[in-house]
Amino acid sequence: MTETKKFSIKNTSKELLGRWYHLMTLGRALDEKAPNYLKQAIGWSYHAPYAGHDGIQLAIGQVFDKETDHLFPYYRDMLTSISAGLTAEEVIFNGISKDTDVAGGGRHMSNHFAKPEWNIHNVSSCTGNHTLHAVGVGRAMKKYKHEGVVFSSQGESSVSEGYVYEAINGATNEQLPVVFVFQDNGYGISVPKKDQTANRKVADNFRGMKYLKIIHCNGKDVFDSMNAVLEAKEYALANSTPVIVQANCVRMGSHSNSDRHELYRDNAELNYVQEYDPLAKYRRMLVRYKRFTEEELQAIEAEVKQEVKKAHKAGLTAPDPDPASIYDFVLPEAYVSEKYPEGTHDFTGNEKKLIEGLNETLKAEFRHNPDTYIWGQDIANKDKGGIFNVSKGMQQEFGKERVFNAPIAEDFIMGTANGMSRFNDKIRVVVEGAEFADYFWPAMEQFVDTTHDYWRSKGQFSPNITVRLASGGYIGGGLYHSQNIEGALTTFPGVRIVYPSYADDAAGLLRTSMRSRGMTVFMEPKALYNDPKAATPVPEDFEVPFGKARIRRDGSDLTIVTYGNTTHMCVEVADKLAEESGKQVEVIDLRSLIPLDKETVLKSVGKTNKVLVVHEDKVFSGFGAEISAMITEEAFEKLDAPVKRVGSTFTPVGFNRILERAILPNNDKIYAAVKDLLEY
C-alpha cells in the first residue's frame, strides 16, 4: 500500500500554495537581479545562482522552525534563507554588503545569508565545513534534551571534503538529530560529479554507516522536496539519529558570476536545464490543476515586483559599514580578575607541579560551571586522562556527558567545539586539540574559521573554546612530537595564545581562558609537566589576566624576553652571570603571546637598553621576530645594541637526543648570546 504524502498539488491548501509561489517568485526575482548590482558597481561581487534548486530550498526553509531548529545554509541557499524568513531587504543588504546586513554587517562575502538571532547560522566560504558545526549543535541539543533538529545544507561536491565524512561519522556514532541536505546539481564549479565520486548519488557513499537514514527526492519538485524534508525532520526527531536528504537538482546558470558554464557545458545540456525550470513547472501545475487562475498568479508576481523595488531602494539608502569599525568584534572582552589584576600572588603553600595545577584547575572550573565540557583523544579512558594524564580523574567525577573521547580526527574535535558553543553562550568547551601540538595541522581549517566567527558575525556569535595543546620539545620526541607551532597560530586575529612556564601561571591562565568568551589556544610545555623547576605554590582561585607579562628576575644591564620552556634556562643564565660578573639581567616571562604585554617589554628596554629574545621555536619566522620588530619600531632610539635572538635552528626537530640538543636552544647558547650583547 502506497503511503499518502502530506503535500501534493491536490491536497495542499490554496493559502499555502500561494505563499510558496510568492516565496519562489521573490527568490527568483532576487536571484536574477543580483548580477545587475555587480554590473553597476554597487556590490554583490559574489553571487551563486540557485535557480534549479527551487524545490529543495523552498522545502528546507518551510520545514525549518526558528524557535526549535538550527539551520546552516551554504552560499547558494538564497531561496532557503527567504523561505526560512529572511526578507527581500535583508537579502539585498547582505548582497551589497551594507551595515544593516543581519548576517554580519557586510563583514562577510555576499551571498552568505544568515540571521543568527533566528538560528540561521553565519557560515564561511569553506565548502561543507559547517557540517561539523551542525554536528556540534546537534550534540548540544541531545545533551540538553532540546526538541529540535539541525539542518545542514550543501552542494554534492562539497561531500568530497574529508571533514564532511568526519561530521557524518560523528553524527551517526553519537546518534544526533542532524539532517544533512545534499543539493546535487551535478557540478562542483566546472568539475562534473563523475570526477568526484564513483557513485551516481553521493549519499550512497555513506550507506554503510549505522543509524543513518538516506532519503532521495527530486529537488526540482516542490511537493517531493517538501515531503522528503518533512520526513527527514520527523525521523530525526523521533529517533535522534541523522538523516541525509539527497536532492536531485539542476544548475540553470553558471556556478557563480565569475564562472562561464558555456565553456564546459554543451548546448544540449544548457537547453535541458532550462526546460526543467522548477519555478515554471510549479506555475504550470497551479494553473493546470485549477488551484490558481492566471490572473491570481499575475497578482502575486506584481506584488513581488513591488516588494523587490521597495527593497532595492532600501538597499541603496542603507548605510555602509564604518571603516573605523574594523577593530570592533575581533575578540570578545576577556574575563576580568578583580583579586589578581596583575596575575601575581604571595601565596606560600605547598608547591605543585605544572600538571597538577592544570588538572586541579580543570576540575575546579567544571565544578564552577556545569555547562563546561571537554573532549579529545584518549582523555577519558578509565584512569587515563590524555596522553599526559592532564585530565586524569575527570570522567569519574563529571561523567561521560561532560568528559568524553573524540575520534582521531582533529578537524572534528575543533569543528564540533565551534558548533556546540553556538547552542548557548553559557557553554564553555575545552578540547585537547591534538595528542601533540604538531598534530594540530589537520584542524587548521576549523581553527582558522573559528578565529573569524566573532568578527564575521559582528559579535553575534562567540566561540567560547579553550584549545589545549601539549607543545614543545626537550623530550626527544622528534617530528610531530616536539615542534612548536605558536609562530604560525599567532598570525591569525581573533584568538588568544598563551604559553605558561610555571604551575601557578598555568592554573591562572587556564581559569581565565575557561571563564572568558572567545577562543584561547593554551600551549602547554609538556617537558615541564612534571619538572620540579616549574613547580610553585598555587592559590586555589588564582587568575592570570591575558596580556600581562611577569618579571621573573629584575635587572638593569640587559632584558631577556622569553616564554615556555626557555624561561627557566634564561633565569638560570641570568643567575650565573650575576655570580660571575655582577651583571643583572632582567627576565620577562611573556605568559601571553596574544595579546602581548608591550608595555612591560618596552619599559624594560628603556631601562636596560639591550634586548635578547629567547624562545624554543625557530628563529626564522618564529614569534620572536614579531617581538624584535616591535622593539625596533617603538624603542629603537633606546637601544645600545641590535636586538638579538636565540631559538631553534631552521631545521626539523631531531628525534635523537644529540640532534635535539643541537637544534633547540639551551643554557650555553643563551649564555653566549647574553655575553655578546653585554660586551657590545
Known catalytic residue at 255: no
User: What distance in Å separates the CA atoms of residue 476 and residue 617, rounded to the nearest whole number?
Assistant: 15
Q: Domain residues of the chain, as ranges?
A: 38-206+217-258+267-317, 351-537, 550-679
Q: Could you check whether 38-206+217-258+267-317 and 351-537 share the same CATH topology?
A: yes
Contact 552, 560 (CB under 8 A): no
SS3 177: coil
1 pLDDT band (50/70/90 cuts)? Answer: very low
Grid coordinates belonging to 333: 572582552
pLDDT by residue (tens digit) across 298-336? 999 999 999 999 999 999 999 999 999 999 999 999 999
pLDDT by residue (tens digit) across 62-112? 999 999 999 999 999 999 999 999 999 999 999 999 999 999 999 999 999
Q: What is the pLDDT of residue 629?
A: 97
Half-sphere exposure of 285 (CA within 13 A, CB side): 18
Contact 647, 615 (CB under 8 A): yes
Q: What is the pLDDT of residue 632?
A: 96
pLDDT by residue (tens digit) across 609-644? 999 999 999 999 999 999 999 999 999 999 999 999
Contact 127, 449 (CB under 8 A): no
pLDDT by residue (tens digit) across 436-480? 999 999 999 999 999 999 999 999 999 999 999 999 999 988 888
Is the domain spanning 351-537 CATH 3.30.43.10? The answer is no
Catalytic residue among 70, 121, 452, 481: 481
Q: Looking at the predicted structure, is the pLDDT value of residue 676 above 70? A: yes
The dotted CATH code for 38-206+217-258+267-317 is 3.40.50.970
Q: Looking at the predicted structure, is the pLDDT value of residue 2 above 60? A: no
SS3 234: helix
5 pLDDT band (50/70/90 cuts)? Answer: confident
Q: Looking at the predicted structure, is the pLDDT value of residue 415 above 50? A: yes
- Please state the rounded mean pLDDT for residues 129-151: 98
Contact 404, 375 (CB under 8 A): yes
HEC-encoded secondary structure of 532-573: HHHCEECCCCCCCCCCCCEEEECCCCEEEEECCCHHHHHHHH
Of 573, 578, 579, 661, give the one whose Cα is nearest residue 616: 661
- Please state the rounded mean pLDDT for residues 532-561: 98
- Please state the rounded mean pLDDT for residues 282-287: 98
| CA atoms 41, 47, 51, 56: torsion sign | negative
Q: Looking at the predicted structure, is the pLDDT value of residue 178 above 90? A: yes
* Global pTM value: 0.96
| CA atoms 14, 19, 20, 25: torsion sign | positive
Q: Looking at the predicted structure, is the pLDDT value of residue 590 above 90? A: yes
- Please state the rounded mean pLDDT for residues 344-349: 95
Grid coordinates belonging to 127: 565548502
pLDDT by residue (tens digit) across 485-515? 999 999 999 999 999 999 999 999 999 999 9
Contact 646, 673 (CB under 8 A): yes
Q: What is the pLDDT of residue 3?
A: 62
Which residues are within 8 A (CB) of 143 and not within 5 positions of it... i.e. 6 or more apart?
A: 401
Torsions phi, psi of 261, nearest 5?
Answer: -75, -15
- Please state the rounded mean pLDDT for residues 257-278: 93
Q: Looking at the predicted structure, is the pLDDT value of residue 13 above 60? A: yes
387 pLDDT band (50/70/90 cuts)? Answer: confident
CATH of 550-679, one of 3.20.20.140, 3.40.50.920, 3.40.50.300, 3.30.450.20: 3.40.50.920
Torsions phi, psi of 279, nearest 5?
Answer: -70, -45
Grid coordinates belonging to 271: 537547453
Grid coordinates belonging to 409: 580526527
User: What distance in Å separates the CA atoms of residue 598 and residue 377, rounded to the nearest whole number?
Assistant: 36
CB neighbour burial string for 309-336, b if at least 16 within 10 angstroms, e if fewer: eebbebbeebeebeeeeeeebebbebbe
HEC-encoded secondary structure of 637-650: HHCCCCCEEEEECC
Half-sphere exposure of 324 (CA within 13 A, CB side): 0
- Concatenating the DSSP letter of every residue in 605-640 gives HHHH--EEEEEEEESTTSHHHHHHHHHHHHHGGG-S
Contact 219, 184 (CB under 8 A): yes
- Length of the chain measured in residues: 680
- Please state the rounded mean pLDDT for residues 177-204: 95
Contact 592, 561 (CB under 8 A): no
- Please state the rounded mean pLDDT for residues 261-280: 93
pLDDT by residue (tens digit) across 30-69? 999 999 999 999 999 999 999 999 999 999 999 999 999 9
